[in-house]
Structure 1
Amino acid sequence: MSSQPRQCDVGVMTRYGHQALRKGRASLPGHAYVLTTTTAHRRPVFRNAESARVVARSSIDPSCWGDARLLCWVLMPDHWHGLVQLGDRDSISLVMNRFKAFTARRMHCTQPGVVWDRGFHDRAVRKEDDVRAAARHIVANPVRAGLVSSVLDYPYWNCVWL
């Protein structure tokens, strides 16, 4: 018997994986969430400097966020992390869908085709004290990944507290 999952099993795991990400998801106005989304097929799309600059510029555009507020973000070669505080109107799903659509439309000239994977991961930041700790963790991602020795050497991030 093979230890590899059958092709049909992989599709089932993927479908339930996305459903599991949505299960129990709550969008609480005024709360901060750490959000992560990956590129389609985890392609390192943002090793291309022009593509990375397009998403970086798009990330700071207020029209990308509706009534949510982007507190902190970092763009890695194959994924994006952000710390977002929800407003009164928009859900986490709407905020992420808007971000992915907004950035993908703007990237179309530099990176045709599908940019982002379907799903995303979210984690509510429980206490106000944890918001800045979450921001520090997000912006340190390029250092932990070995891309740079100092976050100051990495061009694709920002934080409202700086």
Structure 2
Amino acid sequence: MSRSTTAGRKPNVGARSRARSSPDNARRPSAHSGAESADPNPGIAPMQPIDQARQSVGMTDPTSPGHRALRRGRHSLAGHCYLLTTTTHQRQRLFDDPRLAASACGAFTKAAPADATLLAWVLMPDHVHWLLQLGHHTPLARAVACLKAASRRAVNTQRAMQAPVWARAYHDHAVRHDADLRAVARYVIANPLRAGLVQRIGAYPFWDAIWLG
């Protein structure tokens, strides 16, 4: 899918995210998985193996051992897509609690600036990955701040306290113009599989992508 076809498009994922990320569904297969589907990653067209996908879009894994420390965003180019990663405060596994995870996920679907598009995301126990396409008015740092602030408020409301949720820094990777965005999205949402949290992505509730539904 080319970048031009997604520019300005807003994801219609709110209802799916709420259903998938509700506490009652936290340990159940995703609604997108279907009944005993043979495809462990339903909803997005098949693509090349994950390692090849990472190489084809020029990505490294920002949470892998030895990767340089997460940094503040340095570049912000209108219309570009960015793969963003931020960790929780002090790498706490806050989102092992499905109630807190559901609260954060609900905020993600509403928090992206009006001229930006959240293409895909996955919330892990101690970090989050967002695939975000910028518009022409909101810079990258502001877009990330919106996502962090909204989810922080939602999480703190859920746990009835005021405390840090996210680390101050984040890692950003500008996705190449010729990259297959569906391939990048699938790489993003396959994080729970690589981490060994689930055997199929349909069993993990805390992710979404605009190509579903």
- TM-score normalised to structure 1 length: 0.82
Of residues 118, 123, 126, the one that matches 1:70 is 118
Q: Using the aligned pairs only, state the percent identity.
A: 43
Distance, in Å, in 1 between the alignment partners of 2:171 and 2:72 is 9
Deviation at 1:81, TM superposition (A): 0.2
Q: Which residue in 2 is equivalent to 1:99?
A: 147
Of 141-150 and 119-128, more deviation after overlay is shown by 119-128
Matches within 5 A, 1:139-158: 139-158=189-208
Q: Give the whole-Å Cα distance in 2 for the aligned partners of 1:128 and 1:39.
A: 31
C-alpha distance after superposition, 1:116-156 (max 9, x if no partner)? 00000000001243322211110000000000010110000
Residue 27 (structure 1) aligns with: 76
Q: Does 1:80 align with 2:122?
A: no
Letter in 2 for 1:26: H
Q: Secondary structure at the match of 2:82?
A: strand
Residue 65 of structure 1, CA deviation: 1.1
SS in structure 1 of the partner of residue 186 of structure 2: helix
Pairing of 1:53-64 with structure 2 (within 5 A): 53-61=102-110, 64=111
- Greater fraction strand: 1
Segments of 4+ in structure 1 off by > 2 A? 109-112, 127-130
Aligned partner of 2:145: which letter? N
1:129 correspondence with 2:179 = yes
Q: Which runs of 5+ in 2 are unaligned?
A: 1-68
**Structure with higher RCO (Cα < 8 A, 6+ apart):** 2
Structure 1 residues without counterparts, runs of 5 or longer: 1-16
TM (normalized to structure 2)?
Answer: 0.63
| Deviation of 1:110 (Å) | 2.6
Q: Deviations over 1:75-99 (max 9, x none)?
A: 0000000100001111111111111
- Provide the secondary structure at the position in 2 that maps to 1:36: strand
Counterpart code for 1:123: H
SS in 2 for 1:147: coil
Deviations 1:4-33 (A, max 9, x none): xxxxxxxxxxxxx67xx347x221111110
More helix by share: 1
Distance 2:72 2:146 in 1: 17
For residue 68 of structure 1, report the CA deviation from its aligned partner: 1.0
